[in-house]
Amino acid sequence: MKTIFELKQVTLPVQGEDAQFPVNRVYCVGRNYAEHAKEMGADPSREAPFFFGKPADAVFMPAGKVPYPTRTKDLHHEVELVVALKAGGSSLTLEQARDAVYAYAVGIDFTRRDLQADAKKQGRPWDTAKGFDCSGPVTALVPVSKTGWLDKGAITLSLNGQPKQRGDLSDLIWKVDEIIAELSTYYTLKAGDVIFTGTPAGVGAANQGDEVDAAIEGVGRLVFKMA
């Protein structure tokens, strides 16, 4: 189809594949580890998951550097297990949700915490706090055919060599298949969708010059400097 101008498809590299993964939508889950819910002053009980989004072009694999964003004085790191879908649909069963998973990645849901706090206080949308340029750096995708289904494994983030975040995938309040099934009751999911599954406790500020080192056991490691 002819278009008025060319628009580049956002893609992510896949470990061990020449072909790239085309990104459709990017969804995120809020407060999905009890210890993080507590540190944000929220009830850590198992209430239904809630969702927000980032634009597709917010996700990218950084080449060693991530730019510090504009309009914030309190950028927070949130290390998360990222899931990439190869199939979609609506009102999926847990089994269909599992079958839809193509790959995992290690990602950061960068957050302008000052803007988010202000939005919460004023009852306004979170978009400028969550969906900004380069707010979702990720590793290359690792197909589930290589990792197997992940239901446990350490998820960590250190800043300049200092441990900051630590959790385990077994502590996810809503598991990956449950997240996908629930999300598919709000949206028709599609192959190409990417989901950030929530962050463990220990979120905090990342400043210019900081070295971020995030890892998930069985998936990989995401290392970069804040430029």
Residues that bind Mn ion (CB under 5 A): 78, 109, 199
Single-letter code of the amino acid located at 183: L
Name which of 111, 119, 140 is nearest 220 in CA terms.
140
Based on CB atoms, which residue is closest to Mn ion, 14 or 157? 157
**Closest to Mn ion by CB, 78 or 193:** 78
Question: Residue 109 or 177: which CB sits closer to Mn ion?
Answer: 109
First-residue to last-residue Cα distance in the chain:
39
* Least distance from Mn ion to the Cβ atom of residue 160, Å: 22
State the Cα–Cα distance between residues 195 and 112, nearest whole angstrom. Answer: 19
CB atoms within 10 A of CB 7: 8
Minimum Å gap between C-beta 209 and Mn ion is 23
Task: Yes or no: say if 70 and 45 are a contact pair by the CB < 8 Å rule.
Answer: no
Which single residue brings its beta carbon nearest to Mn ion? 109
CB of residue 28 vs Mn ion: minimum separation in angstroms?
Answer: 5
Q: Which is nearer to Mn ion, 82 or 142 (CB)?
A: 82
Provide, rounded to whole angstroms, the least separation between the CB of residue 198 and Mn ion: 6
Cβ-in-10-Å burial (0-12, 13-18, 19+) of 123 comes to: exposed
What token pair was written down for 160?
A: 């300049």
**Min dist. Cβ of residue 31 to Mn ion (A):** 8
E strands present in 43-96: 50-54, 59-60, 65-66, 75-77, 79-85
80/177 with CB nearer Mn ion: 80
Least distance CB 196 / Mn ion (angstroms): 6
Pick 47 or 95: Cβ nearer Mn ion: 47
CA proximity to 99, closest of 115, 118, 110, 85: 85
